[in-house]
Amino acid sequence: MNSFKALIAASTMLCTVGLAQATDLEVTHWWTSGGEAAAVAEFAKAFDATGNKWIDGAIAGGGNTARPVFISRITGGDPMAATQFNHGRQAEELVQAGLMRDFTELAEKEGWKNFVRPASLLEGCTVDGKVYCVPINIHSWQWLWLSHKAFEDAGVPVPKTWDEFVAAAPALEKAGKVPLAMGGQAWQRTGAFNVLIPAIAGKETYLKVYQDKDEAAAAGPEIAKVFKAADDARRMAAKSNVQDWNQATNLVITGQAGGQIMGDWAQGEFQVAGQVAGKDYSCLPGLGVNELISVGGDAFYFPKLKDADKTAAQEVLASVMLSPETQVAFNLKKGSVPVRGDVDLNAANDCMKKGLDILAKGNTMPDPPRLNTEDTNNQLNDLFVEFFATPSMTPEEAQKRYAEIIAAAD
């Protein structure tokens, strides 16, 4: 439907070329949940205000579904004007193949280096000293979302750490709750495991495994502890039979589930549901154990286009996305942190402030999409989908395969 619209838009434009100043830009992304859609509408509003037109190309089903579509459109010679990726290695080869537009000039003119923080975000967009993407938010995975209602119903206090949460699981189950909500999609399984690593084994081990691809560390006793924790998580999530992450978040919002390990984008859902942090739900960064967050996020890449008007409009879109007002409006809705260090965030809620604090202290680390290729991430997905769905698979067995994947990774 969207491509059809774009086609019509494109053909209309051919007729009126030279007359119209407004340029239609098709922007593709995978933001479809309630909070996400509200956030992306802020971008569309700001871009439309410049006299151009935002053509929304949302693809449902998450990044794993959407990215192949983006990539085949770009490599197949039908590029959109701008597209979302998680910056890092997902679009690496597209950039190397010269299919993406170089934004170094604009970045220097507007001084992105001066206000984008942490600096590593812009580095994620940089290949051979040239800037290829616009980072738009900071997302971190390391959050445990807890429903106050569920714990009240079960008659136990809301936990402050992962261990307390595990200890409270039997009480939750007795009250007919699912202790841990977890969607069945592969990325959510792997994501939860990747959150457990720094929380249980610490930042050192995390970096050894994913940055240095150290096989010995992956097979070592620290990661073994993580697999033990994953085993707990598997038991707690056994009765959670939803697929999408926002359905799982909804179980927490409605108090049917105790908690969920999910990135800070879950916050957008709590906000749309009208819940208040600290009163209706709590958030524990680093699972309440190790207050460390990974810095990753979304970025927009701009494929090279032939049309001169559209090429000019791409620059307008890039500046709009980074402008202070849009950054605040977008990120408040999305539940993420703005990439600009110089904006006013009084409107931020408790959870977001916790995140900002940790960010200010510098307790950060790069997230897996920056360190691993999609190939490695997919192999991890395969492993964890099997692990979480197969109660008979022992943690030891899973760890052995985990170490093999890390050993083969590049």
Name the site residues for another protein (rule: CB under 8 A).
64-65, 67-68, 71-72, 75, 90, 92-94, 97, 184, 241, 243, 373-375, 377-379, 382, 385-386, 388-390, 401, 408
CB of 408 to another protein, least distance (A): 7
Residue (77 or 221) nearer to another protein, CB = 77
The backbone torsions φ and ψ at residue 217, rounded to the nearest 5 degrees and listed phi first, read -65, -40
CA angle 185, 186, 192 (to 5 degrees): 100
Q: Is 118 exposed, middle or buried (0-12, 13-18, 19+ CB in 10 A)?
A: middle
Identify any residues that bridge with 146 across adjacent strands, giving them in sequence order.
259, 282
Q: Is 123 helix (H, G, I), strand (E, B) or coil?
A: helix
Residue (67 or 177) nearer to another protein, CB = 67
Tokens encoding 231: 């085993």
CB of 234 to another protein, least distance (A): 11
Contact 181, 240 (CB under 8 A): yes
CB of 375 to another protein, least distance (A): 4
CB of 378 to another protein, least distance (A): 3
CB of 143 to another protein, least distance (A): 25
CA angle 339, 341, 342 (to 5 degrees): 120
Q: What is the CB neighbour count within 10 angstroms for residue 176? A: 11
Residue (283 or 383) nearer to another protein, CB = 383
| Closest C-alpha among 260, 283, 265, 292 to residue 192 | 260
Can you tell me the distance from the alpha carbon of 13 to that of 25, in angstroms, rounded to the nearest whole number?
11
CB of 273 to another protein, least distance (A): 23
Contact 366, 142 (CB under 8 A): no
